[in-house]
């Protein structure tokens, strides 16, 4: 066959594929039942995979309890793994939006990956709600709100501020040193806001040192910090890094109380090293509120373990989204977005009567947990001002 015919055939075949996939994206199956595709992005492998696995459990349970339905719509989940890598996150978000045709995404998990995909989702007018990405930049870009982006957690300033407030007022500690990852918006955000609030409250920051993601040797800065003898060592990074730093800090004779953020919340945290430390979190399974106790019970029945904050917040985020789809009763992302923004007095596990502020952030108290006897212990919940 001459080459021209082949080319024509291939072009014809390709355009047919396009038409077919195009039809699939309309959201109507042949039976007439309305379907809405909801994407889910989380790091299911990589350095924070235990977070991602928990998040997936929360997402699954929320959909299961809703019977994979919201209003007249059948929910079809499409899952993707971003390995906690910003580039990979944009790749999978592109695939979900352009190939799978999702109308809304739950995810991703860390600010590192959620900031780039939130911009991408917003530009493509797809609703994105993250359970756990705490950086302010997720919903706001250069002072401009990304209208399609929401979250179910508080933001970094809140965590840093509450940690500083707790250290000054409850622990009565006056001096602190901070170590943070200079390439990660999450730890930078917590570190800066802790510093600001701690100084404003009359405390003194003795040292603020940066490191890079792949560093393993912290002896130089820790030797400097040991000499200044601070009351607090603020470590706002993820569990594997703070475990490593904590071990070396104790090795250098640093006696300070370790304080951190929600990145500590993992079964892989080195509990022996971090003993006596405190961290801010979104939720505690020991919180006596009935919503919390119910959720813990259901989760335990299904998975045989206690839900962590990542499972809880992703569950909350998914429920907020399903509620908005139901209220809007539409698969138009613009309408879902409006319904989400108007959410009022909707009770979720990590907070009562939640509504969103003008930046898509919920307003609710921050939980403080202590590492004691190799376990997490609920201490208190503090309202940010």
Partner 1 sequence: MEHFLEQVLNGFQLGLMYALIALGYTMVYGVVQLINFAHGDVFMVGAFLGYFGFAVWGLPLPLAILLAMASCALLGVVIERIAYRPLRYAPKIAALISAIGVSLFLEYFSSLKFVFGPNYRVVPRPFPEIQWKIAGLTVTNIQVIVFVVVLIMLILLQILIYRTKTGMAMRTVAVDHNAARLMGVNVDTTISITFAIGSAFAALGGVLYAIAYPQIHPFMGIMPGLKAFTAAVLGGIGIIPGAVLGALIMGQVETLTSAYISSQMRDAIAFAILILVLLFRPTGLLGRTETEKV
Contacts of 263-266 with C-beta under 8 Å, sequence gap 24+, read 263/186, 263/187, 263/236, 263/237, 263/238, 263/239, 264/238, 264/239, 264/371, 265/239, 265/308, 265/309, 265/310, 265/369, 265/376, 266/48, 266/50, 266/51, 266/238, 266/239, 266/308
The pattern of x and - marking residues 173 through 212 that bind partner 1 according to CB under 8 A reads ---------x--------------------------xxxx
Q: Choose among 15, 84, 97: nearest CA to 55.
A: 84
Is 87 a binder of partner 1 (CB under 8 A)?
no
The answer to whether residues 343 and 337 touch, using CB atoms and an 8 Å cutoff, is no
For residue 262, the minimal CB distance to partner 1 (Å) is 18
Stretch that binds partner 1, among 114-122, 125-133, 246-254, 337-345 (CB under 8 A): 246-254
Is 94 a binder of partner 1 (CB under 8 A)?
no
The answer to whether residues 232 and 256 touch, using CB atoms and an 8 Å cutoff, is yes
The answer to whether residues 218 and 187 touch, using CB atoms and an 8 Å cutoff, is no
Number of residues that bind partner 1 (CB under 8 A): 29
**Nearer to partner 1 among residue 150 and residue 211 (C-beta):** 211
* Of the candidate residues 30, 31, 214, 385, the single one contacting partner 1 (CB under 8 A): 214
* Of the candidate residues 247, 302, 335, 370, the single one contacting partner 1 (CB under 8 A): 247
Residue 377 CA, distance from chain mean position: 22
Q: Choose among 113, 110, 116: nearest CA to 132.
A: 110
For residue 44, the minimal CB distance to partner 1 (Å) is 10
List CB contacts of 74: < 8 A, sequence separation 6 or more. Answer: 33, 34, 35, 36, 68
Is 45 a binder of partner 1 (CB under 8 A)?
yes
* Of the candidate residues 37, 57, 83, 282, the single one contacting partner 1 (CB under 8 A): 83
Q: Report the SS3 class of residue 71.
A: coil
Stretch that binds partner 1, among 7-15, 46-54, 135-143, 189-197 (CB under 8 A): 46-54
For β-strands 232-234 and 204-211, DSSP reports them as: unpaired
**Nearer to partner 1 among residue 41 and residue 61 (C-beta):** 41
- Which sign, positive or negative, has the C-alpha torsion 49, 53, 59, 62? negative
Is 291 a binder of partner 1 (CB under 8 A)?
no
The pattern of x and - marking residues 320 through 359 that bind partner 1 according to CB under 8 A reads ----------------------------------------
Is 224 a binder of partner 1 (CB under 8 A)?
yes
* Of the candidate residues 219, 305, 355, 380, the single one contacting partner 1 (CB under 8 A): 219
**Nearer to partner 1 among residue 108 and residue 323 (C-beta):** 108
The answer to whether residues 355 and 344 touch, using CB atoms and an 8 Å cutoff, is yes
Q: Report the SS3 class of residue 355.
A: coil
**Nearer to partner 1 among residue 209 and residue 332 (C-beta):** 209
**Nearer to partner 1 among residue 26 and residue 182 (C-beta):** 182
For residue 217, the minimal CB distance to partner 1 (Å) is 5
For residue 176, the minimal CB distance to partner 1 (Å) is 16
For residue 317, the minimal CB distance to partner 1 (Å) is 24
Phi then psi for 301, rounded to 5 degrees?
A: -60, -40
Is 151 a binder of partner 1 (CB under 8 A)?
no
Task: Write out the binding residues for partner 1, residues 58-77 only, by CB under 8 A.
Answer: none
First to last CA, the chain: 77
* Of the candidate residues 87, 99, 169, 253, the single one contacting partner 1 (CB under 8 A): 253
The answer to whether residues 299 and 306 touch, using CB atoms and an 8 Å cutoff, is yes
Distance, CA of 53 to CA of 56 (rounded, Å): 5
The answer to whether residues 340 and 321 touch, using CB atoms and an 8 Å cutoff, is yes
Is 13 a binder of partner 1 (CB under 8 A)?
no
**Which residues in this chain contact partner 1 in the complex, by CB under 8 A?**
45-47, 49, 83, 182, 209-212, 214-217, 219-221, 223-224, 227, 240, 243-244, 247, 251-253, 268, 270
């Amino acid at each position: 066959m001459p080459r021209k015919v082949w080319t024509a055939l291939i072009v014809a075949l390709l355009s047919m594929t396009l038409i077919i996939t195009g039809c699939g994206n309309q959201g109507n199956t042949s039976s007439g039942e309305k379907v809405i595709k909801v994407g889910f992005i989380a790091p299911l492998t990589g350095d924070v995979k235990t977070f991602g696995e928990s998040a997936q459990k929360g997402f699954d349970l929320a959909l299961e309890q809703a019977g994979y339905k919201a209003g007249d719509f059948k929910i079809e989940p499409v899952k993707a793994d971003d390995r906690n890598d910003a580039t990979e996150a944009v790749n999978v978000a592109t695939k979900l939006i352009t190939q799978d045709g999702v109308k809304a995404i739950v995810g991703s998990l860390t600010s590192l990956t959620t900031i780039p995909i939130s911009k991408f989702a917003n530009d493509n007018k797809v609703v994105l709600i993250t359970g756990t990405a705490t950086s302010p930049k997720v919903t706001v870009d250069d002072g401009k709100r990304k209208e399609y982006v929401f979250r179910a957690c508080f933001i970094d300033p809140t965590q840093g501020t509450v940690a500083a407030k707790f250290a000054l007022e409850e622990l009565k500690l006056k001096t602190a040193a901070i170590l943070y990852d200079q390439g990660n918006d999450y730890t930078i955000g917590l570190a800066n806001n802790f510093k600001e609030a701690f100084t404003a409250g009359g405390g003194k920051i003795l040292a603020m040192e940066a490191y890079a993601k792949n560093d393993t040797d912290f002896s130089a800065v820790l030797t400097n910090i040991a000499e200044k003898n601070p009351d607090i060592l603020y470590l706002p990074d993820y569990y594997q890094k703070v475990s490593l730093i904590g071990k070396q800090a104790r090795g250098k004779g640093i006696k300070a109380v370790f304080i951190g953020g929600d990145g500590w919340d993992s079964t892989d945290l080195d509990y022996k090293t971090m003993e006596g430390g405190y961290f801010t979190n979104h939720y505690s399974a020991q919180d006596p509120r009935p919503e919390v106790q119910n959720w813990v019970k259901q989760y335990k029945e299904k998975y045989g373990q206690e839900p962590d904050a990542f499972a809880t917040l992703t569950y909350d985020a998914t429920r907020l989204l399903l509620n908005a789809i139901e209220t809007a009763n539409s698969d138009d992302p613009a309408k879902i977005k409006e319904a989400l923004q108007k959410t009022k007095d909707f009770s979720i596990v990590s907070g009562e009567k939640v509504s969103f502020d003008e930046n898509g952030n919920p307003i609710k108290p921050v939980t403080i947990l202590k590492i004691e006897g190799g376990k997490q212990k609920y201490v208190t919940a503090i309202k940010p001002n």
